Amino acid sequence: KQENLMLIPSVVKPKLPALYSTDGERDPMVYLKFFNPVGRGTWYLTEFNPEDNLAFGYADIGSPEMGYFSITEMEEIILPMGLKIERDLSFKPCRLSKVKEVMA
C-alpha cells in the first residue's frame, strides 16, 4: 500500500501509545484526528496497536463515545465521488478534554 494513502504513516506508528497504555487516564492525549470529508464521522486516536492496525479513542459517528476502531477498515471505505476517510493534517496533539470542548 502506498505510504501516502495510509491514514497513519509508518514513521508515526511507533510514536503512538500502545493499546491499554493510557487505561484509567481521565484526560488522555489525542494524537491523530480522522474525518469523513463528505459526511458524519470523526475519530480521535489516543492509542494504537500496529500489529492489527486497531486504534482506541474518541469517535463521533452520530453519538460521541470512547471505543475501538479499525484503521484498516477506515482505509478501505470508499465514499461518494471516490473520496476516502482522511487524516486531519492540521490537527495538533492535545488532551481529550480540549477535543470535547471544541466539539461541544
Distance from C-alpha of 8 to C-alpha of 75, rounded to nearest angstrom: 10
pTM of the model: 0.92
- Convert the pLDDT of each residue in 51-88 to its tens digit: 999 999 999 998 999 999 999 999 999 999 999 999 99
- Convert the pLDDT of each residue in 14-54 to its tens digit: 999 999 999 989 999 999 999 999 999 999 999 999 999 99
DSSP string, 26-68: SS-EE-EEEE-TTSS-EEEEEEEETTTTEEEEEEESSS-EEEE
